[in-house]
Chain A
Amino acid sequence: MLEFRQVHKAYATPQGPLEVLAGVDLTLEAGRSLALMGESGSGKSTLLHLAAGLDLPDAGEVRLGGRAISPLAEAERARLRRESLGLVFQQFHLVPSLTVLDNLRLQARLAGREDSAWSAELIARLGLAGLEGRYPEQLSGGQQQRLAIGRALAPRPALLLADEPTGNLDEATAGEVLALLLSLVEETGCALLMVTHSPRIAAPLDRRLRLSRGTLAPLAAAEASR
């Protein structure tokens, strides 16, 4: 589904180039889930942006569904995102001027594959029934994140990319949202790449990797059990 081959990425800083990814190799199969961990500034978000085609590698190759992303034009990459990817952010990034229902259907509509029954089911499964006409600011943090998950899953993406999806929520809400996310991912059969710094959040996923000094390594057993 998603493949990184010897991906390099560096940023220019006043002190000279800072290499955040130094030859990353990564494979995520369809229907599988992967937790990506690491310290702040380790390059987790950069890796996620590269996976989404929001940014391009300096060297190496990122392939999504067997297609290399780098040679694609910006419009093609945008199409790939709206049709094949779902994105969930720590800050939710809902459209404040759209209602709950319109927010949930937004990406599916943009992709031209709106499914009313699936949207209604998502609303019910996400516990947003009765709130369809409200605006994001009228929801709690947990409700907003559930809505963001619904928006990402509404077009039935092949890959869901989640960047600290529970980072802005309290512990109880975080657990609840994570359980819902994982069950929906399992039902839809899409792959999941989740960035988190919490071993507890990462634990239920199929695989866990740590990004450190620009390279990926499996999580140490002791760390994983924490």
Chain B
Amino acid sequence: MTTLLATLLSHYRRHPAQLAMLLLGLWVASALWSGVQAINASAKESYARAEALFTTGLDRLERLDGDALTRDDFLALRRQGLPVSPLLEGELTAPDGTRLTLIGIDPLTLPGDSAFATAGSTQELTGFLTPPWQTRLAPDTLPSLGLDTDSAPGASPRLAAGRLPPLSLAPSLPPQTLVMDIAAATVLLDAGERITRLVTAPGALAAAPPGLALTRATTLVSPGQLTQSFHLNLTALALLALIVGLFIVQAALGLALEQRLAMLRTLRAIGVSGRALVAGLALELVLLGSIGALAGIAGGVWLARALLPDVAATLGSLYGAGVGVELRLPWHYWVGGLAVTLGGLLLAGAGVLWRAARLSVLDLGRAQAWRSGYQRQLGRMSLAGAAVAALGLALWAWLSRQPAGEGLAAGFVLMAALLLVGALWLPPLLAAALAGLGRLARRRPLAQWALADLELQLPRLSLALMALLIALSASLGVNSMVGGFRLTFLDWLDQRLVADLYLDPPAERFEAVHTWLGERPEVAELMVTRHGESTLLAVDAAGASRPLARPVSLFGLTPGERLTPTWPLLETHTGREEAWRALGEGAAFINEQLAVAEDIAPGDRLTLTTPDGQATLAVAAIYPDYGNPRGEVLMAASELGRRFSAPPDSIGIALAPGADAGALSTALAGEFALGRDALRDQGAVKHIATGIFERTFTITRALNALTLAVAALALLASLLAQAGERRRRLAPLWALGVPRGRLLGVQLAQLGGAALAVGLVAVPLGTAITWGLVAVINVAAFGWRLPLHLFPGEIALTLATAVAVALLAALLPALRLWRTPPRTLLAEEAG
């Protein structure tokens, strides 16, 4: 087996470019896949740590009037025998500017099985509870404090707020989180008697004590649940990159087999059995695959490190999910990465092994036999494409009968089927087009030769062209979706953000600020918002009641002159004006996500939990709510306060014509000593929102660009691999009197034309992908549907990219041809 393996591998010693192409394909495919998996694994690990923390998983108590709870509230409840525990939360700024969440707890009363409720030995608990106390933090928080794991234990770093109690490492804590005894936290946060909330074991209280709102842990959605679709989208993109990379691998393997056919037949003739030959080839695959996969995983980790900060920022701003920017990879990540790459490689190499197993030793010396089978292969591709198309149609029919918002995985399969049909039908389509054009160019010998020659090249180029088609279509599809989303999102922001200034006053001074603003001549209108949580218990539609238990957010706004004309509505029961009038009278609007998820229409009635029991509201309209992962019920802020005891949240300030926003801000800050971030103008809010939007698609764009680069590499690799043979085919033409410059032009025109044809196929395919993304994937993943936008600029860019990629890939072989002396061309042809 060693001799056989060495003989098989000796091919690559003579053809290092082929080996490089194979390893490159494996490396790129594996790097992109494992990079995204590393990001997902790290994020999931962060979610797991966050979910293990006591801030989730426990029922919460807060004051109904929005005021802060105090230590006296806690003591009073404990005296009543209620098993509550105080939590103090605040933010500290690390020396490098990182915001750290500080959580103060009382381990003696904290319920549950968190590491702090059972703090280990008595000595540990005493250390935590008594001066100088302890600061518990995860090792990945240390860099923001300028420390490492060796120097951290026992250190007492100084922050602006004061010196932290001695550090103690607790790897199970989420990143950028400090946990200490509530007494120590009170000092650092200068909180006095104030506490943030009271927590209790889930279900420990049957009802909220008077004056307090009880939020059940079951109504709190975990970051892991919220971000599921985000990670699924990333995985789908990574899978696409993996597939495109495997196209390169398959092209390289196919070429290596074709060039080694004579060798394989000779080996068979001199006594290597068919089984031994296949085993040798499989061993070669595993060997090369392991090298490629290991290099790919190393590349993937590097890529993940580069992209993770953006992804973490996106997840933080979109979903409020804290994700560490340090990679933390579980063991199964490494094994999984290796398995997926090797599995993909064996899948890509299965065809090669199959052909090697069926190799007829009697065809010794007939190295061209493979090409003659290409016509049959085209037929099989057409049939396979038709079968996948039928499967895709069946899936689409099935999806269209599913309730809206269902079938995310099926949606991705539908997208994959679309891409596969396009890829499978591309070579037969190109072959038919070339044959047709060849007939038209009968009177132009060079053009006819060029077309016939391209037809001959097709078997070797088709895989690379298929990869290019997939990458181009996906790029067009995703970019059109993102572009459409961007347009819709900016419109939606303009419609929703109608106030000139937005103010977040402290809860305890809300009324005072509101009254003060109401008396100012610069203010035309005040738009108070309120937020709350509830559970949707039932939906009544057409007389039938459907029981549910879905946690929903409550949002209250002030339907005034500024807001109601522009606020976007997707669907109303009896018209826009009537809907707003109904809202003012106690009806509700719901966001699209909730309408899609629970199949609710205007006119239906919702039963929601309130602090006092239940409330029933009629649905007057459905509104778009991009970026919100949760179902939301909207009502007049006054109604939300009255019926759901929801505390006030922010105030939108509409200025009177000609009023000076700067002067009002200065007066407001002077009167109430508000923080720097409490007042923002409309432009700043829009800027933040669009910033979040752009960052959300950073990784999407990066993966798209990388996939396109991989496809370009596939094409380059295919062209390089057959460059020698190409030169030999061009030599006779030169001998017949065609100048080298013209030959060069013909070569570039051949490839540019082929790529343009691929680009033209990519346009309808990419448009279909856009449709799938906005109408199927988006609805299933996020619960909202976007309008389908097509951008002529994107289409032109796709066509230009196709041609540019092809010409770029053709440039190197063309330069080589240009530099080869004509006599050498003929010598090569003779050889």
Chain A positions within 8 Å of B, measured between CB atoms, are 49, 52, 54-55, 74-75, 77-83, 85, 87, 89, 91, 93-98, 102, 106-107, 109-111, 135, 137, 151-152
Contact = CB atoms under 8 A, between A and B. Distances in A.
Given A85-B271, A97-B11, A78 B266 contact: no
Contacts of A81: 269-271
A110 to B, nearest CB: 6
Contact of B271 (A82, A93, A95): A82
Interface string B4-31: 1001001111110000000000000000
Interface stretch (B361-369, B594-602, B758-766): B361-369
B362 A75 contact: no
B800 to A, nearest CB: 41
A54 B14 contact: no
A95 B10 contact: yes
B10 A102 contact: yes
A75 B270 contact: no
A54 B4 contact: no
B119 to A, nearest CB: 67
Contact of B14 (A52, A78, A96): A96
Contacts of A152: 270
B396 to A, nearest CB: 45
B272 interface: yes
A22 B365 CA distance: 27
A54 B361 contact: yes
A137 B827 CA distance: 13
A89 B364 contact: yes
Contacts of B269: 52, 54, 81, 87, 89, 93
Interface string B271-295: 1111110000000000000000000
B831 interface: yes
B271 A110 contact: yes
10 contacts: A75-B273, A78-B274, A93-B364, A96-B262, A97-B15, A102-B10, A110-B4, A111-B271, A135-B14, A137-B831
Contacts of A109: 3
B265 interface: yes
Contacts of A91: 364-365
Given A54-B268, A95-B263, A110-B270, 10 more contacts: A74-B273, A75-B273, A75-B274, A81-B269, A81-B271, A83-B271, A89-B365, A97-B7, A109-B3, A110-B267
B828 to A, nearest CB: 11
Contacts of B15: 97
Most buried by A among B12, B15, B271: B271
Interface string B528-551: 000000000000000000000000
Contacts of A102: 7, 10
Nearest to B8: A97
A82 B364 contact: no
Given A89-B364, A110-B4, A135-B14, A97 B270 contact: no
Interface string B812-831: 00000000000000000001
A87 B270 contact: yes
Contacts of B267: 95, 110
Contacts of B271: 78-83, 85, 107, 110-111
Contacts of A98: 7, 10
Interface string B335-370: 000000000000000000000000001101100000
A167 to B, nearest CB: 12
A61 to B, nearest CB: 20
B263 A110 contact: no
Interface in B252-272: 262-263, 265-272
A49 to B, nearest CB: 6
Nearest to A93: B266
Contacts of B272: 78, 82, 110
Contacts of A94: 266
A65 B272 CA distance: 20
B476 to A, nearest CB: 42
Contacts of B266: 93-95
B680 to A, nearest CB: 69
Contacts of A110: 3-4, 267, 270-272
B19 to A, nearest CB: 11
A82 B3 CA distance: 13
Most buried by B among A75, A79, A96, A111: A96
A107 B270 contact: yes
Interface size class on chain B is 20 to 34
A97 B263 contact: yes
B830 to A, nearest CB: 12
A74 B272 CA distance: 10
A152 B271 CA distance: 11
A223 B272 CA distance: 39
A93 B265 contact: yes
A95 B265 contact: no
Contacts of B10: 95, 97-98, 102
> Which A-B residue pairs are the 10 nearest by beta carbons?
A82-B271, A78-B273, A81-B271, A97-B10, A75-B273, A97-B14, A109-B3, A93-B266, A97-B11, A107-B270
Given A49-B362, A52-B269, A54-B269, A74 B274 contact: yes
A99 to B, nearest CB: 9
A77 B272 CA distance: 9
B14 A106 contact: no
Interface string B704-748: 000000000000000000000000000000000000000000000
Given A52-B269, A78-B271, A81-B269, A95 B7 contact: yes
Nearest to A152: B270
Nearest to A96: B14
Most buried by B among A78, A79, A83, A87: A78
A83 B272 CA distance: 11
A211 to B, nearest CB: 18
B719 to A, nearest CB: 22
Most buried by A among B262, B265, B269, B276: B269
A111 B4 CA distance: 11
Contacts of A106: 3, 7, 270
Nearest to A87: B269
Contacts of B361: 54
A93 to B, nearest CB: 4
Nearest to A77: B273
Nearest to B264: A95
Contacts of B14: 96-97, 135
A165 B364 CA distance: 15
A173 B362 CA distance: 28
Contact of B270 (A74, A82, A96): A82
A97 B105 CA distance: 71
Contacts of A137: 831
A90 to B, nearest CB: 9
Interface in B621-672: none
A10 to B, nearest CB: 15
A193 B269 CA distance: 16
Interface in B774-792: none
Interface string B361-398: 11011000000000000000000000000000000000
Interface string B80-122: 0000000000000000000000000000000000000000000
A135 B274 CA distance: 26
A110 B831 CA distance: 30
Contacts of B268: 54, 78
B502 to A, nearest CB: 71
Contacts of A74: 273-275
Contacts of B7: 95, 97-98, 102, 106
A209 B268 CA distance: 28
Contacts of B3: 106, 109-110
Nearest to B3: A109
Nearest to A86: B270
A109 B365 CA distance: 23
Given A75-B276, A137-B831, A54 B362 contact: yes
Contact of A93 (B273, B276, B365): B365
